[in-house]
């Protein structure tokens, strides 16, 4: 089995990144309480397997995630790790979201705090978490480009934007990657966004590859989630929607059993099969879950097998949106 992950270039203008990247959001309470020591062990396991890209956001736990990553990287070489940071989301002390702010002045402010929390003097990939409806994308990218020139950022990325925004942004400064949800049951980018990203030479870092645990063996019909868990507010995980989606997962589980792999491994292998320009972000919170994901890199799927998988999980039969309506309205990628 794979011990050291191979690398691919992230977009036409980006660095060499590991075939799987670690998404750290779940280590800061987005899916319920996480153990810090176990989280740090997971970061170490990822790096030891050859992973070099770690994704975070300054609003994950209101800075907690960045401080956790700083702690995990204290005994590692900074140049061995690529840090990808999302910014711009406004939070309240009650965990509420208050929109986004990506004005150049706000960008500088968010960046200054992230550099301090991460204990570094530069961030490898910096990206607005969402499109700010009050700020032209050209203005946001211009502000980020100034930070590239000043040496505080190495590359500019985007998150959850549509094809038109990608074009407008790329006209101002090279965009290294688009971070966006993509999985067997969230395939909306295939129609327009992915072709435009490829046309422009922009890589894709795909989150939600396991659909927040849906494409795994961890959920059961009727499952209840803690109020602090993102899934407690996601339509896809509610009542009849969850039951209908788990029936799709059951169909996938039969195929996984035939291949002697887990559902999660099959779901990761499917995303990997979409192209070397797509790098899955794996939101593991335990070393054993990361090891399970790494093993998926070795799974080779024929065209016939891919067709069987896609027939078992038709994207148009997925029940419920991937975010609650208020959050969906913030997604430029869904317009």
Residues annotated as catalytic (active site), given as ranges: 60
Cα–Cα distances in angstroms (integers) from residue 316 to residues 137, 256, 319, 320, 321, in the given order: 31, 21, 8, 11, 11
Strands in 15-96 per DSSP E: 16-18, 21-23, 53-57, 82-87, 89-91
Q: Work out the widest C-alpha separation in the chain, in whole angstroms.
A: 54
**Closest Cα to residue 262, out of 291, 241, 236?**
291
Residue 83: exposed, middle, or buried by beta-carbon count in 10 A (0-12, 13-18, 19+)? buried
Residues 6 or more apart from 297 whose CB is under 8 A from it?
2, 5, 6, 19, 20, 268, 269, 272
- Token digits for 269? 């292998």
The sign of the dihedral angle between the CA atoms of 322, 83, 295, 13 is positive
* Rg of the chain in Å (alpha carbons): 19
Residue 123: exposed, middle, or buried by beta-carbon count in 10 A (0-12, 13-18, 19+)? buried
Length of the chain in residues, anyone?
335
């Amino acid at each position: 089995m794979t011990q050291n992950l191979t690398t691919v270039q992230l977009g036409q203008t980006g660095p060499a990144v590991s075939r799987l990247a670690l998404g750290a959001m779940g280590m800061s309470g987005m899916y319920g309480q996480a153990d810090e020591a176990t989280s740090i062990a997971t970061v170490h396991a990822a790096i030891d397997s050859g992973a070099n890209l770690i994704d975070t956001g300054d609003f994950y736990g209101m800075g907690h995630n960045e401080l956790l990553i700083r702690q995990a990287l204290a005994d590692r070489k900074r140049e061995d790790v690529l840090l990808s940071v999302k910014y711009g989301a406004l939070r309240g002390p009650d965990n509420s979201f208050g929109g986004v702010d990506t004005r150049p002045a706000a960008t500088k402010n968010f960046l200054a705090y992230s550099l301090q929390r991460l204990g570094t003097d530069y961030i490898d990939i910096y990206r607005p978490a969402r499109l700010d409806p009050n700020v032209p994308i050209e203005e946001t990218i211009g502000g980020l480009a100034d930070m590239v020139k000043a040496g505080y950022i190495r590359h500019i990325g985007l998150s959850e934007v549509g094809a038109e925004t990608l074009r407008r942004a790329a006209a101002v400064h090279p965009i290294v990657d688009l971070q966006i949800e993509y999985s067997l049951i969230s395939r909306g980018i295939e129609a327009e966004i992915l072709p435009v990203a490829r046309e422009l030479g922009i890589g894709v870092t795909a989150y939600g590859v396991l659909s927040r645990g849906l494409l795994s063996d961890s959920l059961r019909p009727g499952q209840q989630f803690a109020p602090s868990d993102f899934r407690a507010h996601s339509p896809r995980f509610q009542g009849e929607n969850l039951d209908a989606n788990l029936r799709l997962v059951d169909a996938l589980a039969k195929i996984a059993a035939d291949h002697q792999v887990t559902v999660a491994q099959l779901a990761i292998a499917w995303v990997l099969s979409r192209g070397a320009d797509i790098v899955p972000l794996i939101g593991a919170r335990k070393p054993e879950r990361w090891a399970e994901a790494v093993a998926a890199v070795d799974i080779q799927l024929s065209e016939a097998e891919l067709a069987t998988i896609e027939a078992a999980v038709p994207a148009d039969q997925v029940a419920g949106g991937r975010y609650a309506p208020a959050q969906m309205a913030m997604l430029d990628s869904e317009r």
